[in-house]
Protein backbone atom coordinates (compact mmCIF):
# COMPACT_ATOMS: atom_id res chain seq x y z
CA UNK A 1 0.00 0.00 0.00
CA UNK A 2 1.44 3.32 -1.02
CA UNK A 3 -1.46 5.76 -0.76
CA UNK A 4 -2.30 8.12 2.04
CA UNK A 5 -5.85 7.73 3.31
CA UNK A 6 -7.41 10.68 5.15
CA UNK A 7 -3.97 12.21 5.38
CA UNK A 8 -2.46 9.19 7.15
CA UNK A 9 0.60 7.44 5.84
CA UNK A 10 0.54 3.65 5.49
CA UNK A 11 2.78 3.32 8.56
CA UNK A 12 0.37 5.37 10.70
CA UNK A 13 -2.57 3.40 9.32
CA UNK A 14 -0.97 0.12 10.35
CA UNK A 15 -0.27 1.42 13.87
CA UNK A 16 -3.90 2.56 14.22
CA UNK A 17 -5.15 -0.85 13.05
CA UNK A 18 -2.86 -2.61 15.54
CA UNK A 19 -3.92 -0.41 18.48
CA UNK A 20 -7.61 -0.75 17.61
CA UNK A 21 -7.25 -4.54 17.39
CA UNK A 22 -5.66 -4.69 20.83
CA UNK A 23 -8.38 -2.44 22.28
CA UNK A 24 -11.19 -4.50 20.76
CA UNK A 25 -9.57 -7.70 22.06
CA UNK A 26 -9.28 -6.31 25.59
CA UNK A 27 -12.85 -5.00 25.56
CA UNK A 28 -14.13 -8.38 24.35
CA UNK A 29 -12.19 -10.28 27.02
CA UNK A 30 -13.34 -7.78 29.65
CA UNK A 31 -16.96 -8.42 28.73
CA UNK A 32 -16.69 -12.20 28.47
CA UNK A 33 -14.76 -12.77 31.71
CA UNK A 34 -17.05 -10.87 34.10
CA UNK A 35 -14.77 -7.80 34.26
CA UNK A 36 -11.59 -9.94 34.41
CA UNK A 37 -12.84 -11.77 37.53
CA UNK A 38 -13.26 -15.05 35.70
CA UNK A 39 -16.27 -17.26 35.29
CA UNK A 40 -17.19 -19.98 37.78
CA UNK A 41 -17.56 -23.34 36.07
CA UNK A 42 -20.52 -25.32 37.40
CA UNK A 43 -19.59 -28.53 39.24
CA UNK A 44 -21.58 -30.59 36.73
CA UNK A 45 -18.97 -29.77 34.07
CA UNK A 46 -16.06 -31.12 36.12
CA UNK A 47 -16.98 -34.60 34.90
CA UNK A 48 -16.25 -33.50 31.34
CA UNK A 49 -12.77 -32.20 32.17
CA UNK A 50 -11.74 -35.11 34.40
CA UNK A 51 -11.86 -33.52 37.85
Q: What's the CA gap between 12 and 44, in Å, rounded?
A: 50
Q: What's the CA gap between 7 and 15, in Å, rounded?
A: 14
Q: What's phi and psi for 8, nearest 5 deg?
A: -105, 135
Question: Can you give the C-alpha Rg of the chain in angstroms?
Answer: 20
Residue 4: is its pLDDT beyond 80? yes
Residue 51: is its pLDDT beyond 80? no
Note the pLDDT of residue 22: 98
List pLDDT tens digits, range 9-43. 999 999 999 999 999 999 999 998 888 887 888 88
Instruction: Report if pTM > 0.85.
Output: no
Q: Which residues make Cβ contacts (< 8 Å) with residue 2, sequence separation at least 6? A: 10
Q: Measure CA of the first residue to CA of the last residue in the chain; give whole Å.
A: 52
Amino acid sequence: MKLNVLGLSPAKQSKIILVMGICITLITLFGLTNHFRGVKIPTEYHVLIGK
